[in-house]
Amino acid sequence: MILAYGVANLLQSVAATRTTVHHTFDPGLLLRLASHRTYLVGLGCQGLGFLLAFLARRDLPLFLVQASVAAGLGVTALLGVLVLKWRLPAAEVGLLVLLFAGIGALVLAAEPAPSRQIGPLGLAALAIALAVIGALGFFAVRLHGAPGSVALGSLAGMAFSAAAVAARPLAAVHSAEALLFHPLLYLLLAHTVVGQLLLGLAMQRGSTTAAVAAMDAAGAVPAAIIGLLFLGDRIWPGREWLAMVGFLVTLASVIGLTRYAEPQHHHQVAPVHRRRPVRLHQPVPAARR
């Protein structure tokens, strides 16, 4: 699952940087991205990661599964070094070590347990969240550069977090017919599509790891809290401190990785014809568009 999400992040970011930047909340971006073979392969990897995460949510708490999804960012960084020749500073190596140490702590703290089901109020809350995230995305898409990348990535994280909340009880449904007619399935799909659109827009405006880290940071906390309070997620008795430390270390490591994202991004994808205007004219803003 972690490997699948890491490869997906990298491939989708390459396709996003090769697509004309969108300044509106236009679902047509997904169709344009789909014209890139690289994006489709990345989407396939993400689909595999989603399926594995869905199956994991049947018994594992959301704080563990979402943190594991966030760990895909570490795989993205390592692949960037091996495939795209990104530089890996010593500080980032330390952050990657902390990231996987945090995941290890969560694995030791998580107690497997089936999920509670979501009632009508929960369904209504997920529907309202979908509308709010979409409305915020309509305005956030007007932001450019790093602020736009972080804002849109954060909204994508919230959408994927809501999808994870819907997936936890949905994974416990054993009948294919019941699954097909379950309202949670369509809320999950709607949140996933909106999240995918927001992530594509975020990757167009900034670096891959900045967009993905913002997404993971914004999406991990709500899902973890909702899982513990409402879905029956459990921690082994006496290991609450380990779960807290593991979650905070994982989250801090993901956020810390954004520091090195911008140089890596520009090192790989900035075309040569963009470098000359920066030297001849001055427009630093032009380099960020």
CB neighbour list of residue 27: distance below 8 Å, 6 or more residues apart:
193, 197
Cβ atoms 213, 261 nearer than 8 A: yes
Whether 269 maps to a domain, the answer reads: no
- What is the domain range of residue 236? 1-260
Whether 285 maps to a domain, the answer reads: no
Whether 236 maps to a domain, the answer reads: yes
Q: What pLDDT score does 250 carry? A: 83
Number of domains in the chain: 1
Q: Please write the tens of the pLDDT for every residue from 176-209.
A: 888 899 999 999 999 999 998 898 888 777 666 6
Q: Please write the tens of the pLDDT for every residue from 236-257.
A: 999 999 999 988 888 888 777 6
Whether 270 maps to a domain, the answer reads: no
Confidence bin at 100 (pLDDT 50/70/90): confident
Q: What pLDDT score does 188 carry? A: 96
Whether 71 maps to a domain, the answer reads: yes
C-alpha distances out from residue 278 to 136, 249, 270, Å: 33, 39, 12
Find the helix or strand (DSSP H, E) in which 254 lies: helix 240-256
The pTM assigned to this predicted structure is 0.77
Q: What pLDDT score does 236 carry? A: 94
Whether 119 maps to a domain, the answer reads: yes
Provide the residue type at 23 as one letter.
Answer: H
Residue 2 has pLDDT above 80, yes or no: yes
Whether 83 maps to a domain, the answer reads: yes
Residue 73 has pLDDT above 60, yes or no: yes
Whether 98 maps to a domain, the answer reads: yes
Mean of pLDDT values over 78-92: 73
Confidence bin at 218 (pLDDT 50/70/90): confident
